Structures are given as structure tokens and as C-alpha cells.
Amino acid sequence: MQRLILLAFPFLAFAQSSSSSQSLSPSSSPSSAAPSGSTSAVPAINHGTNQYTYMGCYNETTSEPGAPRALTMGVQLNARWESEDDMTVEMCIAYCGQNNTKYAGLEYSRECWCGNFLSSDSALLPDSQCNSTCAGNSSEACGQSEKLLVYNRTGAASGMWAEGARSGALYASATTALVLGFGTLML
């Protein structure tokens, strides 16, 4: 019978035999091996297509009371505001492209958000914070809880679709603003 003895140094492990010789021999380190049934592979960041290019990992802003979503004036992949069990970056980008939005964002491994505004309250985070695997492709990343992988439409229009603009409500600032039903145009 073999028993594993861990010493004070986690990188040293010895197998001990229950025979009368009680000899110790070096064994491979258990701390470097992946647990059975799991992988240590980190999903890759998909850098986009010719339609959308990768911008980075951004935090969601809904944890602040009354704050808009990170991607505003947008739609989620289906009309019932549910997630997709086969979500991939390509699926989200294609959907947002069909809806002609400036941004595509993936969150919670299976949510796709499209929008024309990226909230000024949303901050750029390290890519490592958006490393949940996509529900439909475990080799690529699809955001994280309260964090989105954001893609920018290649050659997207500027001006009215400026980053940081607020939609759906009057936004008071030192500049003149024209409030429209679908967003705010800064003059």
C-alpha cells in the first residue's frame, strides 16, 4: 500500500510503502499536477474578425445603483434577454454586426451584448479577468461575472456613437446635449 506524505515544502512529496523496509523515495509533486477531471488550460482571447476587433476586458457597471450597463443602447442576443448555451465570440460578433452596432460584448460565458455606447464608468481591466470559457467553445474566452470582452466594429462611425455618451436619459454637462429617444447627441 502506498501513502503520500507531504512535508513542509509543498514541492517535495514522498511515497511511503507499508512494508517493513519503510524506505522513502522521491515522487512527483502533487502541486504541479492538475486535479483529475479538470484542465489548467486558459482559454484564448479571440482577437476578432474583419468586422469587429478586440478592444479589451471591461467591467460591467450595473453594480452601482442607477448606473447604465457597460454597453448601452444595445440588445442582447435573443428577445427574451436570456443567455445562449452555445455562445461563441463569432456568434456574438455576427449578431451585433447584423444589428449594425458599434460594440459587441461577451459576459458570463454565454451572454452577448451589443451597443453603440461604452459607458464611461466602465474601466479597462487585465485580460486575465475575462477568462471564463465560452459556453459553445471551451478554447476561447467569453468574459466573466460582471466583466465583458468588448469588440469594436472595424471602421465604425464616430460622432453620435462616441464612447462615454449616455443613452435613454437627460445627461447634464457643460456642453449642449440633444436628448433623443434612442440616445444622446453631444453638440
pLDDT score of 11 more than 50? no
In a domain, 46, yes or no: no
Q: Do 103 and 172 belong to one domain?
A: yes
Q: Do 27 and 72 belong to one domain?
A: no
The tally of domains found in the chain comes to 2
Q: Do 21 and 79 belong to one domain?
A: no
Tens digit of pLDDT for each residue in 69-110? Answer: 898 765 555 554 457 889 999 999 998 998 889 999 999 999
Q: Can you point out the beta strands (E) in 29-88?
A: 52-59, 71-72, 75-76
Tens digit of pLDDT for each residue in 28-45? Answer: 333 334 334 445 588 999
Tell me what pLDDT residue 80 has: 47
Whole-prediction pTM value? 0.60
pLDDT score of 176 more than 80? no
Q: Do 17 and 67 belong to one domain?
A: no
User: Residue 77: CB partners within 8 Å, gap ≥ 6?
Assistant: 83, 84, 87, 91, 92, 95, 111, 112
- In terms of residue numbers, what domain contains 136? 52-180
